[in-house]
Amino acid sequence: MAAPTPHSLCEVILALDVPTRADAEAFLDRIGPDLHWVKLGLQLFVREGPTLVDAIAARGHRLFLDLKLHDIPNTVASAIRSLKGRPVDLLTIHAAGGSEMLRQAVAAARETSPTLQLLAVTVLTSLDAPALAETGVPADPAAQVERLAALALAAGVPGLVCSPQELPALRARFGPGPLLVTPGIRPAGADQGDQKRAMTPAQASAAGANLIVVGRPLLAACDPRAALAALQAEMK
């Protein structure tokens, strides 16, 4: 997969966090063909299995498999190799797994598919400074994001998942190269839910995001197709 060009027009990824395959397929019918990217997370992947990856890709969508792999290096590498033959474009791993896990994951991705790109998760967007401190990390979220981002990029991981609020610092430090994917996106005036470090789509796009992840503002919309069009227009 050719990565989106940094600082080019940002694209929307739908976080397809629904209970069942039937719900997923019904919603994809409703949102229409202008949706290019779909994120499949743990909830649906665990329930429905990897054949759902094939079904979503067969509809013409590009697939972001958000499993946040975090285990000993050999286990993570083996899990990545198990995706061979699946049409997955992006896959998440935790940067906190350490440099050896990251390096083995990169090697496994290259063996598995020439188009598979890994994204390193830095600090979950549900964590603010007090929550991060509870885990034993005294640094504020922005500093921890930069630390883990540097670790992942040095190990060869081509992209990062981060809060949109860290986008300017990551672009300033690491330049246009990394693929930056940002959850925590809420349209202006929307409820932030459990996202503690959120931005609007326009703000995230201007800050240098390549892809923004949007869930509830689309899933809960009365007209998902119109809501998607509004998000795309806002980013322009």
What span, in angstroms and rounded, lies between the C-alpha atoms of 116 and 119? 10
Q: Which of 64, 70, 24 is nearest to 48 (CA)?
A: 24
What span, in angstroms and rounded, lies between the C-alpha atoms of 24 and 108? 29
Q: How far is CA 224 from the centre of its chain?
A: 20
Whether the CA torsion 82, 86, 92, 98 is positive or negative: it is positive
Instruction: Tell me whether strands 37-41 and 117-121 are parallel, antiparallel or unpaired.
Output: unpaired
What span, in angstroms and rounded, lies between the C-alpha atoms of 31 and 29? 6
SS3 66: strand
Known active-site residue 84: no
Phi–psi pair at 129, nearest 5 degrees: -60, -45
Q: Which position among 68, 84, 196, 236 bears the catalytic label?
A: 68
- DSSP designation for 123: S
Taking residue 50's Cβ as centre, other Cβ atoms within 10 Å add up to: 14
What positions carry a catalytic annotation? 68
